A = this chain, B = another copy of it.
Amino acid sequence: MSVPNSAQSTVQAERKAYYQRIAGLSMTPLWEVLHALVPAQPASPCQPALWRYAEVRPFLLESGQLITALEAERRVLILENPGMPGSSCTTHSLYAGLQLILPGEVAPAHRHTQTALRFVVEGLGAYTAVDGERTTMHPGDFIITPSWTWHDHGNPSDEPMVWLDGLDIPIVAFFDAGFMQRGGEQTQREARPQHDAEYRYGANLLPYEYEARSLNSPLFSYPYERSREALEHLRRNAAWHPSHGLKMQYVNPATGGYPMPTIAAFIQLLPQGFQGQTYRSTDATVFCCIEGRGVSRIGGKEFAWGPRDIFVVPSWLSVSHHPAQDCVLFSFSDRPAQKSLGLWREELIA
């Protein structure tokens, strides 16, 4: 293998010339990029990051003066990952943003292939309407607008409403499979009374001979009141997971699976004094603190968070949670997609 330097550089020159010749045929050598294309382990451009709500909120409110919800169509500040500037991505595969809707405003009806989740951060009394059914939003509520469902938002209350949007925009773009339509009217006509889906699909009953027509949950609102009550009750009994504490996943009641085919969502209780074991998985995860304060160590750095703060744990970076008080965290990731494609891995680190 001890080739004289001059011989080596001749070889390199020949190869380079060859590469240029084949470039004209739209061909390129694998061997020059193999290690970058097929790395030994995930090498994501995504970085850990945290958005403090106290810092973000003034800018969010300022946006309400710069542009109307109607002109913006959706007035959202994208939480763009600092490792991927210009990408409009929060993780490599998911988009997150904070949406503001002011009293009296409407975010007009449209539908798209992209599936969205809303996690209510601040305010009470705005609504999301999905395929003609409105649901009033309260802090901590988890709401979905599945792929290709008509949806609009409105705020008849007298305070600003803010929620965290999570969408699979990068996934749909990656697969070149996105469609979008605007509705004929800004606000959908109400086709069913409020809570219809909650009773129809969410009461451990389903309509007689129900057959799912979508990979998304027919239940689109998961009120915080009920999820929080479940956590509180279960803490009396539950063995705590060494890394995740008492963690539950939102489910599609018609399948028992994740509520959307591209995005999983979780809620977890971490009791005061819990020292979470280090963990990593291939699904980069966006967290939003609902209650309590704590610190998470992500890939060796510490991120201190409190209510309404949002932070990101990239793929395969180690994470551990250290709550200073009883804490409740909401989170979401692309886990269902990774599992469907046979890609998901996780690891508890001793």
Q: Are A73 and B282 in contact (CB under 8 A)?
A: no
Note all chain B residues with C-beta closer than 8 A to A34.
72-74
Report B-chain residues with C-beta under 8 Å of the C-beta of A181: 40
Contact between chains at A248 and B205 (CB < 8 Å): yes
Determine the chain B residues whose CB is within 8 A of the CB of A266 once the complex forms: 208
Q: Which residues of B are found within 8 Å of A82, using beta-carbon distances? A: 26
Q: In the complex, what distance in Å separates the CA atom of A147 from the CA atom of B338?
A: 13
Known: A62-B18, A76-B31, A202-B204. A41 touches B179 (CB 8 A): yes
Instruction: Name 23 A/B residue pairs within 8 A (Cβ), A-sorted.
Output: A21-B59, A26-B51, A27-B77, A30-B78, A31-B76, A33-B88, A40-B179, A147-B343, A170-B174, A171-B343, A175-B334, A176-B282, A177-B338, A177-B343, A179-B345, A196-B233, A196-B236, A200-B230, A202-B204, A204-B251, A204-B253, A205-B227, A206-B249
Residues of A62-83 at the interface with B, using a CB-CB cut-off of 8 Å, are 62-63, 66-67, 71-82
Q: A27-B79, A208-B266 are in contact. List 9 more A-B contacts (CB 8 A).
A: A30-B75, A37-B88, A41-B178, A44-B176, A199-B234, A204-B222, A208-B247, A212-B256, A337-B341
A223 smallest CB distance to B (angstroms): 9
A284 touches B176 (CB 8 A): yes
Partner of A206, one of B41, B67, B195, B251: B251
Tell me the residues in window 1-38 of chain A with beta carbons closer than 8 Å to chain B beta carbons: 11, 14-15, 18, 21-22, 25-31, 33-34, 37-38
B176 touches A315 (CB 8 A): yes
Q: Is A342 on the interface with B (CB-CB < 8 A)?
A: yes
Tell which of A119-127, A213-221, A298-306, A321-329 binds the partner. Answer: A213-221
Contact of A77 among B22, B81, B176, B208 (CB under 8 A): B22
Q: List the 3 shortest-distance A-B pairs measured between CB atoms, nearest first.
A: A176-B315, A340-B340, A30-B76
Q: Which residues of B contact A14 (CB under 8 A)?
A: 66
* Minimal beta-carbon separation of A251 from chain B (angstroms): 5
Given A25-B55, A31-B71, A214-B342, do A250 and B40 touch, yes or no (CB 8 Å)? no
- Kindly list chain B residues whose C-beta atoms are within 8 Å of the C-beta of A78: 27-30, 33
A184 CB contacts on chain B under 8 angstroms: none
In the complex, A255 has a CB within 8 A of chain B:
yes
Least CB separation from A74: chain B residue:
B30
Task: Indicate which residue in B21, B25, B49, B178 contacts A51 across the interface (CB closer than 8 Å).
Answer: B25
- When C-beta atoms are compared, the residue in chain B nearest to A344 turns out to be B177
In angstroms, how far is the closest chain B Cβ from the Cβ of A77? 4
- A22: chain B residues at CB < 8 Å are 59, 77
A345 with B67: CB separation less than 8 A: no
Residues of chain B lying within 8 A (CB to CB) of residue A195: 233
